[in-house]
Structure 1
Amino acid sequence: MTQSPFATHEVFNQSPPFEDVNLYTADQPLVAAVRANGGISAEQELSDFGRHWGSAAMAERGRLANENTPKLRTYDSKGFRRDVVEFHPAYHEVMAHSAHAGLHNSTWTEQGRPAGGASEVIRAAKFYIASQVESGHLCPITMTRAAVAALGSQPDLLAKVMPVIATRSYDPSFAPWWGKRGMTLGMGMTEKQGGTDVRSNMTRAERVGDGYRITGHKWFMSAPMCDAFLVLAQAEEGLTCFFMPRFAPDGSVNAIQFLRLKDKLGNRSNASSEVEFVGAYAQPVGEAGKGIRTIIQMVQLTRQDCAISSAGLMRSGLAHALHHARHRSVFQKHLADQPLMQSVLADMALHVEASVALVMRLCRAFDRTPADAAEAAYMRLLTPAIKYWVCKSAPPFLYEAMECLGGNGYVEDGILARHFRESPVNAIWEGSGNVMCLDVLRALSREAEAAAAILTSLAGETHGLPGAAEAVAFIAQSFRRPDSERVARLAVEKLALLAAAAALNPINPRHAELFAATRLAATHPSMYGAIDLDPADIRALLERALP
């Protein structure tokens, strides 16, 4: 092809797109963590999923879904109130692919009971991979999956909706849920005056016939195009959980009025709304006056997914940074061969490897909770601690990944700018950092013996690792202090680091030793790469991160 006479330069020394990659098999730490936690039987399924989601076509769908944000259509052309949210077709496509893979229901049987086996671990591996491609759509996916736990408190209602939830079809039509091929569920808890303090909710519920009429508002209600929502409202008996469908039983549009969509920093493909209920129809879920106890079963699962998603975002940041560094030459050498860049990337790889080992270990606890009291205690104590550490790690990690690409990492043409904007949300939603620390303290006070047993178990699993014994002693001492809340952040972070070292140790003892030496025996520097690793360890970490 003849070069244009106006061409000023040849484009070279740019890394090729990181696409058409199997996001499962190219991630050795993920493969090892899945195997270690019981998911080996699904390796072919996960490889197929990783190949599909790592394709250029899925990357393009993710881009389009984020660049073409949802739009609220309050009225139709004739002036009738509709409150419909319109999405770009790419959003519906990624939703359909997630639904087909069972990300919204595969941890439940068709009757709404835990599926057992390694279903949590296998699903988590898919969720982790999907978050690397498009995170926003995972909000309705995770809420649909988690809502089943709360609906279990109302067996008659669960029996009605579960056949529709249990399909692997995605049906975006605006129609009553009982006539659809598949359905999604959302959640509305927070109000203007209370936020996390949902006991201050003022939305009220009045019994009318066989149901209730809900009047009030929610300051944040994500995924407003879901087919139904679990919401909290004040009934005569106190704060109660309710199932609120988009359509009333007679087929009319329910009185759920969306005021506006939130203009968020990230999470752009997903709609989040402010909403008013103007006598909206709803059915109670669980015991009246025990709404928090009912809906917290849902929140526990969404917190789990926050941690999985944040780990996935960090993995994607690492993979893109390492891929770029292996193709970009600076000062006559590839970036990946520069000693300082190697130190940065290896330190980041160590962080991701420990994070994925930890979240998969947590998912194993979710799998085993129904039959194992010790695993159930691990799940209750460690879920908020793991969400705290993993989710709050993501923003600074992704900033570092952006910097590895230089200016290319900072522009919206690449995925890292989107990841960076997305990264704070998981630490904020489903309970901020302070709330997570308070939940750990609450679990300790309610189940002191079980918590002590978990700490003893972690001590055994990390025996001999640098700084582990000292970390165990510090954690135990901190939580016994009368003013334990003052040091809760430090103690909870130590607990998560200890649990990460314990999760990594049986998978890769050498890397667990490095993690403990740089995070437990010493305070990790605020900048990645500000540690002294042996060149052989650097090579092993980077080869394992992205062969």
Structure 2
Amino acid sequence: MHDAHRFITHTVTNQPPPLQDYNAFELDTALKSAVLREAGDWGATDLQIYGGIAGGELLELGFAANENKPRLRTFDRYGHRIDEVEFHPSYHRTMSLAMQHGVHSYAWRNRRPGAQVVRSALAYLHYQAEAGTSCPLTMTYAAVPALQHTPVLAAQWLPRITSPQYDARVLPADRKGGCTIGMGMTEKQGGSDVRANTTRAVSRGDHYEIVGHKWFFSAPMCDAWLVLAQAEGGLSCFLMPKLLADGTRNAIRIQRLKDKLGDWSNASSEVEFHGAQAWLVGAEGRGVATILEMVALTRLDCMTGSAGLMRQALVQAIHHARHRTAFGRLLVDQPLMQNVLADMALEVEAAASLAMRTARAVDEQDTALARILTAVGKYWNCKRAPALVNEAQECLGGAGYVEESILPRLYRQAPLNSIWEGSGNVQCLDVLRAFSREPVSREAVFAELGSARGANRAYDRELSALAALLGDAQLVESQSRALVERMALMFQAAILIRAGDATVSDAFVASRIDGGRGQAFGTLAADLPLRGLIDRAWCG
């Protein structure tokens, strides 16, 4: 008899345990601090509950939902045109959990100071586990202000889209327990230039008929969409339901689903409207202004979601480094790895803090500040996410590049938010436009930044330089990215300084504003408290 033990080639050692069933809120000192600071502390219990779901069941559902992409069924077995998108059960369970806990509606169902902050924190937690479903959740959340322009539609639809019930059945909206909202703006010939749209809307008394196309129609499984079309009075916004009141399908034809780099659990589509019925939202000719109220909130979620992606990447990197040994020591104890992890931790805390501060400005209806913070934060957080996720992959080495890890999915997802709802150039131009047309926006910026003056000399020097630059009435468009980057870092620094932990704020200013670092992560000065920053990022 052969001795089977002779053929055992190795024993598995030096591998981290699976990261599962952890509380994504409880372990996140930076998030808890930001929620408290921005007046959302009353929602901590709800965040604690969802943090356990995000680090547990939701994390597992995310893998299944992305491994089983949605499929388009254009016709049923009898040949009837149905234009339906099929999803894996994990997608539906994810949506159900999210809506039950208010990822799409918390701010509208809790009308008290800090409600937008708590809702943004819920979205931040959700993004860490499964980002694709955030698309319909975000659009449903963000549609509320636009719909309020037409009270009749608001009365019908707001109870449906703020419902905590997820209802995947294909039924007329008034027969469902809850509804989701998507949007259709982009056309082939225009892209970000929506005024070049050619889709037409013709009045038919109490409704309009829409004929045209949308190059990106997100998301085709929703119950209704806000769309832009050219009416007699100019480019206008319309609510287009999936099914009409009598149960018949609206004349929306899905041409195909987009084959995307990432965002695999979510369906994005190209569609044509063959006389689809829709109802005017706001006034004719005010379509851009109306739908921009939705876009402002979806951009808030872009910056929040990017921060969430970065947070999940950081969690994966620190967990690995706390258990993996190389050259006789744990990775987390090695000076160069400590520098990388601490630098990433600073980036994530600053990104999350900026998102929560923006949510508070939205909550307080501080319009001038919210407009600038949203554009600046959307630009910067979304730009930083791909680089940080890739750095986290390096921390795991080859294990961070294989699909069994969550990091490849995060890396595919990371570029999306910089493109969705206006690319980086659009955000920078929006900042310049606000400065040129709305002098109050400059005042809001320097009121915010000035509140942190006096605590850090390098910060104060940069604040003076930035004030001189923004005092120039003729800001140069070609230099607007450099300006917005400086503003982003100063907003983040101001928030961290006011937070009161000098260990964090001094390290951030020294590395981001005072010229004390290189371009890659892991170039912090040797005298900074590296291990302390890592431990703050992982308090478990």
* TM-score interval, normalised by the smaller of the two chains: over 0.9
Assess if the C-alpha contact under 8 Å between 1:304 and 1:383 holds in 2.
yes
**TM-score for both structures, normalised by structure 1:** 0.95
Assess if the C-alpha contact under 8 Å between 2:455 and 2:497 holds in 1.
no
Q: Which residue matches 1:530?
A: 523
Assess if the C-alpha contact under 8 Å between 1:462 and 1:501 holds in 2.
no
- State the Cα distance separating 1:359 from its structure 2 match: 1.0
Partners of 2:343 and 2:512 in 1: CA distance: 11
Show the 5 A alignment for 1:376-525: 376-479=367-470, 480=472, 482-507=474-499, 508-522=501-515, 524-525=517-518
* Partner of residue 540 from structure 1, selected from 510, 532, 538: 532
Does the residue aligned with 1:461 lie in a helix, a strand or coil?
A: coil
Partners of 1:316 and 1:141 in 2: CA distance: 19
Q: Which residue matches 1:352?
A: 348
Letter in 1 for 2:480: A
Show the 5 A alignment for 1:229-378: 229-369=225-365, 375-378=366-369
Assess if the C-alpha contact under 8 Å between 1:116 and 1:368 holds in 2.
no
Q: Compared with structure 1, are the counterparts of its residues 482 and 523 closer, same or farther at alpha carbon in structure 2 (3 Å cutoff)? A: farther
Q: Compared with structure 1, are the counterparts of its residues 5 and 177 closer, same or farther at alpha carbon in structure 2 (3 Å cutoff)? A: farther
Can you list the C-alpha shifts for 1:380-432, whole angstroms capped at 9, x where unaligned? Answer: 11110011011110000100000000000001110011001000000110010
- State the Cα distance separating 1:540 from its structure 2 match: 1.4
- State the Cα distance separating 1:9 from its structure 2 match: 1.3
Q: Which residue matches 1:150?
A: 146
- State the Cα distance separating 1:164 from its structure 2 match: 1.3
Letter in 1 for 2:194: V
- State the Cα distance separating 1:460 from its structure 2 match: 3.3
Partners of 1:474 and 1:140 in 2: CA distance: 42
Partners of 1:462 and 1:418 in 2: CA distance: 40
Can you list the C-alpha shifts for 1:246-283, whole angstroms capped at 9, x where unaligned? Answer: 01233210010010000111111000000100100100
Assess if the C-alpha contact under 8 Å between 1:474 and 1:491 holds in 2.
no
Does the residue aligned with 1:52 lie in a helix, a strand or coil?
A: helix
Partners of 1:322 and 1:512 in 2: CA distance: 21
Q: Which residue matches 1:93?
A: 93
Partners of 2:5 and 2:119 in 1: CA distance: 51
- State the Cα distance separating 1:4 from its structure 2 match: 6.6
1:31 aligns with 2:32: yes
Letter in 2 for 1:377: A
1:18 aligns with 2:27: no
Partners of 2:141 and 2:162 in 1: CA distance: 10
Q: Which residue matches 1:187?
A: 183
Q: Compared with structure 1, are the counterparts of its residues 456 and 167 closer, same or farther at alpha carbon in structure 2 (3 Å cutoff)? A: closer
Show the 5 A alignment for 1:215-234: 215-234=211-230
- State the Cα distance separating 1:5 from its structure 2 match: 6.0
Can you list the C-alpha shifts for 1:465-514, whole angstroms capped at 9, x where unaligned? Answer: 24323333343344425252121101111111111011111222321111
Can you list the C-alpha shifts for 1:289-325, whole angstroms capped at 9, x where unaligned? Answer: 1100000000000000000100011011111100000
Q: Compared with structure 1, are the counterparts of its residues 13 and 462 closer, same or farther at alpha carbon in structure 2 (3 Å cutoff)? A: farther
- State the Cα distance separating 1:54 from its structure 2 match: 0.8
1:134 aligns with 2:130: yes
- State the Cα distance separating 1:523 from its structure 2 match: 6.5
Letter in 2 for 1:228: A
Deviates more, 1:457-466 or 1:324-333: 457-466
Q: Which residue matches 2:80?
A: 80
Does the residue aligned with 2:386 lie in a helix, a strand or coil?
A: helix
Partners of 1:368 and 1:204 in 2: CA distance: 37
Partners of 2:298 and 2:454 in 1: CA distance: 32
Assess if the C-alpha contact under 8 Å between 2:432 and 2:475 holds in 1.
no
Partners of 1:209 and 1:449 in 2: CA distance: 41
Assess if the C-alpha contact under 8 Å between 1:466 and 1:520 holds in 2.
no
Assess if the C-alpha contact under 8 Å between 1:462 and 1:498 holds in 2.
no
- State the Cα distance separating 1:124 from its structure 2 match: 1.1
> Superposition RMSD on alpha carbons, in Å?
1.5
Partners of 2:4 and 2:309 in 1: CA distance: 40
Assess if the C-alpha contact under 8 Å between 1:478 and 1:488 holds in 2.
no
Q: Which residue matches 1:7?
A: 8
Can you list the C-alpha shifts for 1:173-213, whole angstroms capped at 9, x where unaligned? Answer: 11111110100000000100000000000000011232111
Does the residue aligned with 1:310 lie in a helix, a strand or coil?
A: helix
Does the residue aligned with 1:406 lie in a helix, a strand or coil?
A: helix
Assess if the C-alpha contact under 8 Å between 1:466 and 1:516 holds in 2.
no
Can you list the C-alpha shifts for 1:340-387, whole angstroms capped at 9, x where unaligned? Answer: 000110111111111111111111111111xxxxx3221011110011
Assess if the C-alpha contact under 8 Å between 1:34 and 1:122 holds in 2.
yes
| Paired positions, count | 535
* Partner of residue 197 from structure 2, selected from 201, 206, 228: 201
Partners of 2:429 and 2:211 in 1: CA distance: 31
Q: Which residue matches 2:67?
A: 67
Letter in 2 for 1:24: F
Assess if the C-alpha contact under 8 Å between 1:466 and 1:513 holds in 2.
no
Does the residue aligned with 1:467 lie in a helix, a strand or coil?
A: helix
Does the residue aligned with 2:336 lie in a helix, a strand or coil?
A: helix
Partners of 1:477 and 1:410 in 2: CA distance: 45
Assess if the C-alpha contact under 8 Å between 1:466 and 1:521 holds in 2.
no
Partners of 2:107 and 2:225 in 1: CA distance: 20
- State the Cα distance separating 1:6 from its structure 2 match: 4.2
